[in-house]
Amino acid sequence: MNRVKQKLARGEVCRGGWIQIGHPAVAEIMAHAGFDWIAIDDEHAIIDFETGGNIFGAIRNSGTVAMVRVRENNELVIRRWLDAGAQGIIVPMIDTAEQARAAVASAQYPPRGRRGFGFCRANQYGAEFPAYVRDANDDLLLIAQIEHIEAVRNIDAILAVEGIDGTFIGPYDLSGSMGLTGQLTHPDVQEAIRATLDASRRHHKAAGVHVTAVAPDQVAQAVEEGFTFIGLSLDCVMLHHACRLMMAESR
């Protein structure tokens, strides 16, 4: 079974990272560094399905769970990423229970959903088809990204949808939807974040957050607050940080 999904169900913390640099070597390096999960950022990066499949192949035997944040809540997009080998899907801009149910239907095989059956990379082009189809629905980790104040208002209904395993807060978009763009420490923004975290606890589902900066103290704070699905920066930020640090120390 999906190792991250198992750990989250037990309330354990899972630390992952984002991929925006579209090369399998980057994912391979991150996987061997010990990330629990790695998510391709299909929403903001320029990574196609073929490259994504190669990225998943690079980490297939590492123990790291391969995920993708899809560009939109679209049935064909979700199905194609799953066929490419994604073990988890993060769906952006989930504002209502209806949208959450649509995401579940796109990602699950019948009778739970509408995902189409077929030989693909995820089932080794048919070689593992029976076992994959048997386990895929239960193995999938499906995360609803909460990044609008409307989603916060509907958070209990969203989390009540069967098949949604947790939430992931997009703090910048959330603050923007409140007319407080970038003011992440504003009391109203913090209240919205806490409301999402509290609802996740009530529904016994994972609460996720992205710590964009390379800042261990912020990660520790997120864990202390109760977040268990934590995104640790992203590849381009980590590379930028390491390069600047190396240059500063070399002087």
Q: What's the pLDDT score for residue 60?
A: 87
Question: Structure pTM?
Answer: 0.95
pLDDT at residue 249, as a whole number: 92
Question: Which residues, 6 or more positions from 9, have their beta carbon under 8 angstroms from its beta carbon?
Answer: none
- Quote the CA–CA distance of 92 and 39 in Å, as a whole number: 13
* CA–CA separation, 19 and 87 (whole Å): 15
| Rounded alpha-carbon distances, angstroms, from residue 110 to 79, 143, 206, 238 | 13, 20, 25, 40
241 is annotated as an active-site residue: no
Task: Give the count of beta carbons closer than 10 Å to the beta carbon of residue 187.
Answer: 9
pLDDT at 212: 85
Instruction: For the domain covering 3-250, report its CATH number.
Output: 3.20.20.60
Q: Looking at residue 91, what is its pLDDT?
A: 98
What pLDDT tens digit does each residue of the chain (251 aa) get? 899 999 999 999 999 999 999 999 999 999 999 999 999 999 999 999 999 999 999 998 899 999 999 999 999 999 999 999 999 999 999 999 999 999 999 999 999 999 999 999 999 999 999 999 999 999 999 999 999 999 999 999 999 999 999 999 988 999 999 999 999 999 999 999 999 999 999 999 999 999 888 788 999 999 999 999 999 989 999 999 999 999 999 98
Q: For residues 209 and 145, is the Cβ–Cβ distance under 8 A?
A: no
Residue 215's pLDDT is what?
A: 83
- Helix (H) / strand (E) containing 221: helix 216-225
Conformational region of residue 85, where left means phi above 0, alpha means psi within -120 to 50, and beta covers everything else? left
For the record, the structure tokens of 71 come out as: 């560009």
What pLDDT is stored for residue 156 in this prediction? 98
Candidates 44, 148, 203, 240; catalytic one: 44
